Amino acid sequence: MLTSRLNRPDPKNGPWKLGLDTPSFKPLMLYSTNRPLKEQLYKAFVSRATEGPFNNGALIDEIRKLRLEFATILGYKNYAEFSISRNMAGSVERVWSFINTLRARSYPVAQRELKTLQRFAEIYGHEGELKQWDKDYWDERQSSMLFRYRKTCYFVACLV
């Protein structure tokens, strides 16, 4: 009897099934201290739909080809030019100029913020370089400790 109880799944001890949908993925990345699990889940998340029966690469290539054909029929050089013709951006060149300006101004700031986050994580016990699957966790810790900011407090449930 005791053995069967110990082997039964339960919410605290698992086993659990984790999906790659955002409501499962994001909380685990924000709050879990299990780095190997976060690494595994992160790599699965960023590579979903890239292999096996769910690989949608050929479909994406076909969509790109059809969009180019569509734009060409309508007299545009490419789909981006067609798409932009219907909004305020004006031209593909103007969009690229904006992106490049934004990158030039924001990249140095992002690098400084990453170094600050790296130092914060090291102070609180992280060893080695922060990996992509570590960043949400440490960003949440830094925000809550330094700025008393918690993402969850902006939901009505926190007021109850």
Quick: pLDDT tens for 26-82: 999 999 999 999 999 999 999 999 999 999 999 999 999 999 999 999 999 999 999
Total Cβ atoms within 10 A of residue 136: 19
Q: Is the pTM of this model over 0.85?
A: no
Query: Based on C-alpha coordinates, what's the Rg of the chain?
Result: 23
Residue 8 lies in a domain: no
* Residue 2: DSSP 8-state: H
pLDDT single digits (tens) 104-115: 999 999 999 999
Question: How many domains would you assign to the chain?
Answer: 1
Residue type, 87: N
Percent of the chain with pLDDT over 90: 72
Residue 159 lies in a domain: no
Structural domain range at position 109: 22-46+55-147
Residue 156 lies in a domain: no
